[in-house]
Amino acid sequence: MSVLEKIFGKKKKEFKAFCNVSREPVEKGYGFLLTTAQVVASRAYWDKVMTEPDTMSYTINHFKNNDAMATQIRNMIFEKYSGIEKPWIISDSCIHWFDVDKNKARQHAESWWASEGDYTPENAGTAGNTLKNDEFDEIRHYAVMEAGRERVR
């Protein structure tokens, strides 16, 4: 390698991550790695998703007006998130929404960081492919039909 290549050569871009829930930066070596099934199984997560500014109008119309289109959009939101195949990096400030083994999730995150995002824990994949049908249907029912109800009363 010539002197000019050493000076002007491309440097490897630093691997960075952002929480898949809050979009806040996650410092290297921190965070938790969850599967899609672990994320979508959280009722607190769905209450958050269905009451964000972008989705609140659908939630209001779903509960107050029995609007079939709003319910259909809530189902589409569920399909979008439950259909994610890659594992989710979750920040320390969001992990409380998920009922998971935090030590194991932290270990998975450490492996994920070491592989620069290539590590995939067991049972990764879409929620529909990794959960039992009745469990998936129960989660879908809550996410689409019940999530956010307390905020609309």
Rounded Cα distance, 68 and 70, in Å = 5
* Residue 6 falls inside a structural domain: no
On the 0-12 / 13-18 / 19+ scale of CB atoms within 10 A, 115 is exposed
Q: What is the mean pLDDT of residues 106-114?
A: 97
Contact 99, 138 (CB under 8 A): no
* Residue 119 falls inside a structural domain: yes
Q: How far is CA 14 from CA 82, 91, 110, 117, in A?
A: 29, 19, 16, 12
pLDDT digits (tens, 9 = 90+) for 81-90: 999 999 999 9
What one-letter code names the amino acid at 48? K
Q: How much is the pLDDT for 152?
A: 87
Containing structural domain, residue 49:
23-152
Domain count, the chain: 1
Does residue 63 register a pLDDT over 70?
A: yes
* Residue 103 falls inside a structural domain: yes
pTM over 0.75: yes
Secondary structure, 3-state, the chain: CCHHHHHHCCCCCCCCEECCCCCCEECCCCCEEECHHHHHCCHHHHHHHCCCCCCHHHHHHHHHCCCHHHHHHHHHHHHHHHCCCCCEEECCCCHHHCCCCHHHHHHHHHHHHHCCCCCCCCCCCCHHHHCCHHHHHHHHHHHHHHCCHHHHC
Q: How much is the pLDDT for 4?
A: 55
Of the listed ranges 1-5, 25-29, 55-59, 138-142, the least confidently predicted one is 1-5
Q: What is the mean pLDDT of residues 2-16?
A: 69
* Residue 111 falls inside a structural domain: yes
* Residue 4 falls inside a structural domain: no
Q: What is the mean pLDDT of residues 91-105?
A: 97
* Residue 28 falls inside a structural domain: yes
* Residue 18 falls inside a structural domain: no
* Residue 13 falls inside a structural domain: no
Q: How many CB atoms lie within 10 A of CB 137?
A: 12
